Chains A and B, each alone.
Chain A
Amino acid sequence: SSELTQDPVVSVALGQTVRITCQGDTLRTFSVNWYQQKPGQAPIFVIYDKNKRPSGIPDRFSGSSSRNTASLTITGAQAEDEADYYCHSRDSSGAKHLFGGGTKLTVL
């Protein structure tokens, strides 16, 4: 069955660059979105359609995708970026949606 795989935990030093990845065969066909979730809050989208950043999201957030792997990069991570990050796409049928298992980002 279709699935999206993320590293469960990633850490980054304050001000450094971190890449969070999402792997899945369906990413060869369908685009990907990224959501940030902080404790006790609903998720918000930070990247959509692989690499588009919505208004209000800092430009240190960027996205890319190639073959079966999508990436969310934070260039110059800040303390407020500490959160859970989820990738989102479709299953092989295109009808159902999928989330990755999530990556907990710690900013040291």
Chain B
Amino acid sequence: QVQLVESGGGVVQPGRSLRLSCAASGFTFRSFVIHWVRQTPGKGLEWVTVMSSDGRYIHYADSVKGRFTISRDNSKSTLYLQMNSLRAEDTAVYYCVREVNYDSGSGSYYDYWGQGTLVTVTS
């Protein structure tokens, strides 16, 4: 079965760095676009970043652009999120999610989510 397992979260001081990993299994990882989505405790979902299946296109939310870097190793079926210059407002549960296209090909949705890893930025 499809599984996405995030790791690497923890408590970190403002200005420091952290790298999250998302280990995928149960599907052909290299064929899928994968995203990071975060959720501040008790609040809503925020899209963070996306990387295409071949790594050729990447987009970031304005709130993390220039500080976060997404990457993937298809040989290891793993997605990464390098987070630098962390701020208190980056405190959240970070989910990796798999994107699939509509049958019509005109859009997409998230069909599988990991359980998330908590990042807490505090002094």
Q: Which residues of A contact B (CB under 8 A)?
A: 30-31, 33, 35, 37, 42-45, 48-49, 52, 54, 84, 86, 88, 90, 95-102
Contacts and interface: CB of A to CB of B under 8 A. Distances in A.
A99 B47 CA distance: 7
Interface of B: 35, 37, 43-47, 50, 59, 61, 95, 102-104, 106-107, 109-111, 113-116
Contacts of B44: 84, 86, 99-102
A89 B36 CA distance: 15
B109 A45 contact: yes
Nearest to A31: B107
At the interface, is chain A mostly helix, strand, loop or mixed? strand
Contact of A88 (B102, B104, B110, B116): B110
Contacts of B116: 42
Given A99-B44, A102-B44, A43 B109 contact: no
B47 A96 contact: yes
Nearest to A97: B47
A56 B72 CA distance: 31
B47 A45 contact: no
Contacts of B43: 102
A3 B73 CA distance: 32
Given A86-B44, A99-B46, A42 B107 contact: no
Contacts of A35: 45, 110
Contacts of B103: 49
Q: Which 7 A-B pairs have the closest CB atoms?
A: A42-B113, A33-B109, A97-B47, A48-B109, A102-B44, A99-B45, A31-B107
Contact of A42 (B35, B50, B114): B114
